[in-house]
């Protein structure tokens, strides 16, 4: 069975991978979001929120990995 410290390390890797996946998907998803009438005039805010979400995911993963090696 995996101990808590090792689980935290792998969870950090998963968080970073998901955050990078968000950055990768933003340009692909934005045209689909723009097609929705409600979001068409708020596209800048939606894009900003997606980038902030990706940043927080990568930062949280990096913090977990940093604490693992600390």
Is residue 14 within 8 A of residue 42, CB to CB? The reply is no
pTM to 2 decimal places: 0.89
How many separate domains does the chain show? 1
Per-residue pLDDT tens over the stretch 10-68:
999 999 999 999 999 999 999 999 999 998 899 999 999 999 999 999 999 999 999 99
Q: What is the 3-state secondary structure (H, E, C) of 45-68?
A: HHHHHHHHHHHHHHHHHHHHHHHH
**pLDDT for residue 1 is more than 80:** no
The parent domain of residue 35 ranges over 4-69
């Amino acid at each position: 069975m995996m101990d808590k410290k090792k689980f935290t390390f792998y969870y950090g890797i998963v968080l970073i991978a998901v955050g990078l996946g968000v950055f990768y998907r933003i340009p692909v998803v934005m045209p689909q979001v723009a097609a929705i009438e409600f979001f068409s005039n708020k596209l800048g805010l939606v894009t900003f929120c997606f980038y902030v979400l990706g940043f927080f995911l990568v930062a949280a993963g990096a913090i977990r990995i940093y604490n693992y090696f600390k």
